């Protein structure tokens, strides 16, 4: 008998989504990730959970409706990671006419029912706080509701849920060869040690590596694929309001600028064709300038490339024949050839649904329970999204040493599971050494023991964004602390 029912190559959003879905349906699952969970494209997404207005413009009504239904699902199952915000489109005389935007937003709102989010409105921003950050000529803006998400924590908590339902999650484990007969036999280099595992089905969810893995590891035929790079920039905070601004750039693209961690603004996204190794992806200077210029057309404060504190880039694939950037799922099974799922691209919003549909394709091969992921909260997400502030108040009542922003960060990261991180501590000192003003030894130990963190970057960039503010000396101390934590127990 094979060791597992399903082996998954890749611990990005697509891989962990498959693992969670399949483990919850009773399959024996192993997920292999060569680096850290969400270490590639899945921590470089635009971080939006939305129906995508630009799709509406191309008359993709059903796609928008489906994505808005998924937005509702995410708010219900991950209220700590997915936060509703008011998005603002300043009307620009040279871009899409106001009547078109108004009509588009009316349709957008009507494609979702019972969302519980405020409807779109038109604002006179000459005397409205929303207009304060914008250049003078903007008199009117359109405001509507959508959501933002912490993409890399979404990956990690999806993996955690999969592990709690029985999946084995191995990070630092690279699949180097897979032989296909009526089962799959995989050679894996797992933290330096070579091991062999067998599985009844295999999923190639290796993102930007999908085509390379299919060619060199699986040696299976595949359709032609094209690689695309997505990039964003992070600059010091440009505006005080808690809005996401959406600009219409003069080439027709929609660019967004959103508050990011308390003190920063994230501006994105620019995409273009990519060639090379997805592990070495850097944002070209021209793309940085493009986003700075786009923001400077709208904001009073000029944004220059020298203001950029970090760039974020990721690579993923689309089918070369595809006209759209929807995710792709290919399924292949023959007599005496074990099933192969190939899954790549696609947006964060519809990732849960993609995984559900892909695992359902295995129904003829295994007895399994019906789809379930839309109705089960991710770890820490068992509260209503409009009770987020209440959860923050509860946390401050219980751990009185937490400041408001600190409690916001911790509830946003761990939700109702915060007690697993902070325990019964009455003072900050009880949580061990401090690394910068916010990170404590207790949190680092938790992340290493339960969330597969191994290196400072795993903690500082993918499981938090403290990297943006942590002083160098604290980083060095953190690295020494993590190196000294011996063999943390793993959750899967």
Ligand X SMILES: Cc1cc2nc3c(=O)[nH]c(=O)nc-3n(C[C@H](O)[C@H](O)[C@H](O)COP(=O)(O)OP(=O)(O)OC[C@H]3O[C@@H](n4cnc5c(N)ncnc54)[C@H](O)[C@@H]3O)c2cc1C
Of residues 20 and 417, the one with the C-beta less far from ligand X: 20
For residue 216, the minimal CB distance to ligand X (Å) is 9
Answer for which of 108, 142, 184, 209 binds ligand X (CB under 6 A) is 209
- Considering the complex, what minimum distance in angstroms separates the CB of residue 15 from ligand X? 5
Closer to ligand X by Cβ: residue 281 or 425: 281
Helix axes 441-450, 472-484, angle to 10 degrees: 50
Using rule CB under 6 A, residue 39 touches ligand X? yes
CA triplet 134, 138, 140: central angle to 5 degrees?
Answer: 115
User: Which residue's CB is nearer to ligand X, number 228 or number 491?
Assistant: 228
**Region from 42-50, 95-103, 424-432, 467-475 binding ligand X, contact rule CB under 6 A:** 42-50
**Interface positions, 282-341, toward ligand X (CB under 6 A):** 314, 316, 318, 325
The answer to whether the Cα torsion of 471, 476, 481, 486 is positive or negative is positive
Contact pick of 6, 125, 134, 213 for ligand X (by CB under 6 A): 213
> Helical H runs in 33-179?
53-57, 61-77, 98-110, 151-164
Asked if residue 32 binds ligand X (CB under 6 A), the reply is yes
The per-residue DSSP string of 198-237 comes to EEEEEEE--GGGHHHIIIIII------EEEEEEEEEEEE-
Identify whether the C-beta of residue 143 lies closer than 8 Å to the C-beta of residue 87.
yes
Alpha-carbon distances of 140 from 117, 126, 244, 250, 294, rounded to whole Å: 22, 8, 16, 18, 19
Q: Does 271 engage in binding with ligand X (CB under 6 A)?
A: yes
Q: Which one of 208, 412, 456, 492 is in contact with ligand X (CB under 6 A)?
A: 208
Q: Which of the stretches 73-81, 195-203, 208-216, 450-458 binds ligand X when contact is defined by CB under 6 A? A: 208-216
**Scanning residues 132 to 191, which ones bind ligand X (CB under 6 A)?**
174-175
From candidates 5, 33, 146, 261, binder to ligand X by CB under 6 A: 33
The backbone torsions φ and ψ at residue 119, rounded to the nearest 5 degrees and listed phi first, read -75, 170
- Output 215 or 429, the one with its CB closest to ligand X: 215
Task: Return the residue of 4, 5, 7, 14 that touches ligand X, per CB under 6 A.
Answer: 14
Least distance to ligand X from the beta carbon of 395, Å?
Answer: 29
Stretch that binds ligand X, among 27-35, 68-76, 289-297, 363-371 (CB under 6 A): 27-35
Shortest distance, CB of residue 454 to ligand X, whole angstroms? 14
42 binds ligand X per the rule CB under 6 A: yes
| Residue 9 in the binding site for ligand X (CB under 6 A) | yes
Inter-CA distances, 134 with 198, 211, 302, 423, Å: 58, 44, 11, 44
- Check binding of 492 to ligand X (CB under 6 A): no
240, exposed or middle or buried, with CB in 10 Å at 0-12, 13-18, 19+? Answer: exposed
Asked whether the beta carbons of 120 and 143 are under 8 A apart, the reply is yes
Choose between 194 and 336: whose C-beta lies nearer to ligand X.
194
Residues 78-137 that bind ligand X (CB under 6 A): none
* Token digits of residue 341: 């799922």
The distance in angstroms from the start CA to the end CA of the chain is 21
Question: How far apart are CB 48 and ligand X at their closest, in Å?
Answer: 6
Question: Which of residues 247 and 399 has its CB atom nearest to ligand X in the complex?
Answer: 247
Question: In DSSP terms, which residues pair with 317 in a beta bridge?
Answer: 227
Based on the shown chain and the rule CB under 6 A, indicate whether residue 346 belongs to the binding site for ligand X. yes
Give which of 448, 468, 425 is closest to 310, Cα–Cα: 468
Angstrom distance (rounded) from CA 242 to CA 290: 24
Residues, the chain, total?
492
Counting contacts by CB under 6 A, is residue 18 touching ligand X?
no
Judged by beta carbon, residue 238 or residue 348, the one nearer ligand X is 348
Query: What are 62's two structure tokens?
Result: 């059903």
Of 310, 328, 311, the C-alpha closest to 319 is: 328
Name the minimum Å distance from CB 189 to ligand X. 9
Phi then psi for residue 136, to 5 deg, are -60, -45
Most distant pair of Cα atoms in the chain: their distance: 70
- Verify binding: residue 66, ligand X, rule CB under 6 A: no
- Closer CB to ligand X, 190 or 301, in the complex: 190
Instruction: Reduce the DSSP state of residue 35 to 3 states and report it.
Output: coil
Distance CA 284, CA 275 (A): 13
Using the rule CB under 6 A, is 381 a contact of ligand X? no
- The answer to whether 268 contacts ligand X (rule: CB under 6 A) is no
Shortest distance in whole angstroms from residue 108 CB to ligand X:
16
Q: Which positions lie near ligand X, rule CB under 6 A?
A: 9-15, 32-35, 39-42, 45-46, 174-175, 205-209, 213, 217, 228, 230, 271, 314, 316, 318, 325, 344-348
């Amino acid at each position: 008998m094979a060791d597992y029912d399903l082996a998954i190559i890749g611990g990005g959003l697509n891989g962990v989504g498959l693992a969670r879905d399949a483990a919850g349906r009773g399959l024996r699952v192993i997920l292999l990730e060569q680096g850290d969970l969400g270490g590639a494209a899945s921590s470089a997404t635009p971080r939006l959970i939305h129906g995508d207005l630009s799709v509406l413009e191309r008359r993709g009504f059903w796609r928008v409706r489906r994505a808005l239904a998924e937005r509702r699902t995410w708010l219900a199952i991950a209220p700590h990671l997915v936060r509703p915000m008011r998005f603002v489109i300043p009307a620009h005389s040279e871009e899409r006419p106001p009547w078109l935007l108004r009509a588009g937003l009316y349709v957008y709102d009507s494609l979702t029912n019972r969302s519980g989010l405020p409807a779109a409105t038109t604002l006179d921003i000459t005397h409205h706080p929303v207009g304060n950050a914008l250049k003078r000529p903007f008199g009117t803006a359109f405001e509507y509701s959508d959501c933002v998400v912490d993409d890399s924590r979404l990956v990690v908590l999806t993996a955690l849920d999969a592990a709690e339902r029985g999946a084995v999650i191995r990070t630092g484990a690279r699949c180097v060869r897979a032989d296909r007969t009526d089962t799959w036999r995989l050679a894996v280099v797992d933290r330096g040690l070579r091991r062999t595992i067998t599985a009844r089905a295999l999923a190639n969810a290796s993102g930007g590596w999908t085509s390379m893995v299919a060619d060199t590891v699986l040696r299976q035929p595949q359709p032609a694929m094209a690689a695309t790079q997505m990039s964003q920039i992070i600059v010091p905070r440009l505006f005080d309001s808690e809005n996401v601004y959406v600009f219409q750039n003069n080439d027709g693209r929609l660019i967004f600028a959103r508050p990011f961690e308390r003190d920063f603004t994230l501006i994105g996204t620019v995409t273009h064709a990519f060639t090379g190794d997805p592990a070495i992806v850097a944002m070209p200077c021209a793309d940085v300038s493009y986003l700075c210029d786009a923001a400077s057309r709208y904001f009073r404060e000029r944004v220059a490339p020298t203001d950029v504190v970090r760039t974020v880039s990721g690579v993923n694939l689309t089918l070369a024949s595809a006209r759209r950037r929807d995710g792709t799922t290919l399924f292949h099974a023959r007599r005496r050839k074990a099933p192969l799922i190939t899954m790549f691209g696609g947006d964060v919003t519809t990732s849960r649904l993609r995984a559900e549909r892909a695992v359902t394709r295995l129904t003829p091969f295994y007895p399994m329970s019906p789809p379930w992921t839309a109705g089960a909260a991710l770890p820490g997400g068992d509260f209503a999204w409009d009770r987020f502030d209440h959860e923050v108040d509860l946390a401050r009542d219980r751990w009185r040493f937490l400041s408001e922003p600190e409690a916001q960060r911790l509830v946003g990261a761990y939700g109702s599971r915060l007690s697993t991180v902070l325990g019964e501590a009455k003072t900050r000192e009880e949580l061990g050494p401090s690394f910068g003003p916010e990170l404590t030894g207790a949190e680092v130990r938790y992340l290493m023991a339960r969330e597969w963190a191994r290196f400072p970057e795993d903690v500082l960039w993918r499981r938090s964004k403290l990297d943006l503010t942590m002083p160098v000396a604290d980083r060095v101390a953190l690295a020494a602390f993590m190196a000294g934590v011996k063999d943390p127990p793993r959750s899967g």
